[in-house]
Amino acid sequence: MAISKNEPAVGGVQSFKLPDVGEGLVEAELLSWYVKPGDEVGVNQMICEIETAKAVVELPSPFAGTVRELLAEEGQTVEVGAVIITVDDGSGGSAPEAAPSADSEEREKPLVGYGEKAASTQRRPRRRPGPSAPVSPPVPRVSEPAPANTPAVRETRAAPAPAPARAPGRPLAKPPVRKLAKDLGVDLASVTPTGDNGVVTREDVRAAVGQAPGGPAAAETVQAAPAAAVDRTARERRVPVKGVRKHTAAAMVGSAFTAPHVTEFLQVDVTRTMKAVARLRERPDFADVRVSPLLLVAKALLMAVRRHPEVNASWDEENQEIVVKDYVNLGIAAATERGLVVPNIKDADAMTLPELAAGLKRLTETARAGKTSPADMSGGTITITNVGVFGVDAGTPILNPGEAAILAFGQIRDMPWVHKGKLKVRKVTTLSLSFDHRLVDGELGSKVLRDIGTALEDPELTALAWG
């Protein structure tokens, strides 16, 4: 893995900046540290695990020495180029012990997660009254008396004790805390903050509502908070959109509103495919891989691409050209705990069936373990999504950005089917092919879908006929 240039050693202390481990990524989430201050590390020893917009990656240390400081926390999103760890390589001794000036301290201590920042970019300190300046009492938020039935008045009655003096202005609180206070009818100006730097927390708001249980304040609180004022946040969960999920969301929105999608459907009798899967599982050359219907669907798609290479293409907006690719990097959509990822098997069209099966196994196991590399995520040319594993018959898949087509493979069900002139119960599935109508017209899309269906109806005969 290429490591970005890091800070030169100062007094033997090396600074390691977060590198760009993908294709122009700007940030990553630090999932976990493998080391702590005081640990000894060697060159290329894995020191942490990060999640980029494309994959989870382990970072090796470019230095050997003693870990001095970790400058990013687990769960924090860090910009590429920010210093995340310092290592003392023992080459220069410690820095002189002198009281740093305010300016030098700002330069030497990076803001965690964002690297070094010049003093001019720091927030100006709040003005505080000097020793000789008289301290004026807090300015009330409401200059005129409010009606007796307003929440602000009720809260004032409930908490007659004056709050500690603090600088006038808007109380410090995060948006969810402000919403909670609004729902409960609490005036944040009357709440005593306990958070860092005077920030009002959820617990502070709830404490303001439930002061002095059983006393007069509690009685006033009951009047101030009617039954309809329910803490809705207690029944909601907020999931940060970042990493793989953030990248997928942005990519799907871009694809849906850039490429004109068309989707066609085809029901296929795959009884012979299922029999072929059972026979392949008994062969010695497939003993170490998992043979599934998806393997033969992938092979059918590759045969269709060979017959209709124009479907394996991309749209070059800048040059207004269609780029037809004479290789197939077959993408397989995989659902993981961190969201949907689409790694691809490089040059899948040149593989034998056992090689393709091994590639599918490696790809799916790596994706489920969250260890898909950025290289496996880039360069795809056409994709399969297996919605059948979720018990779904069909869907209208959205194109993977930069590709002309995506095939959805539905669940295989026992259904009544006319076979050789008689009604029988057969194994049936539904195929859905979405394609970019700028590159693939209805005729080409229909031919590709029909060829895939033909290959699955009789996989052995098709393999002999089409190779």
Q: How far apart (Å, rounded) are the C-alpha atoms in residues 202 and 295?
A: 52
**Is residue 437 annotated as part of the catalytic site, yes or no?**
yes
**Which among 247, 261, 419, 437 is annotated as catalytic?**
437
Strand order in the sheet with 56-60: 56-60, 46-51, 27-33, 77-79
Q: How far apart are CA 304 and CA 450, in angstroms?
A: 9
- Longest Cα–Cα distance of the chain, Å, equals 103
Burial class for 202, CB neighbours closer than 10 Å (0-12, 13-18, 19+): middle
- Catalytically active residues are 437
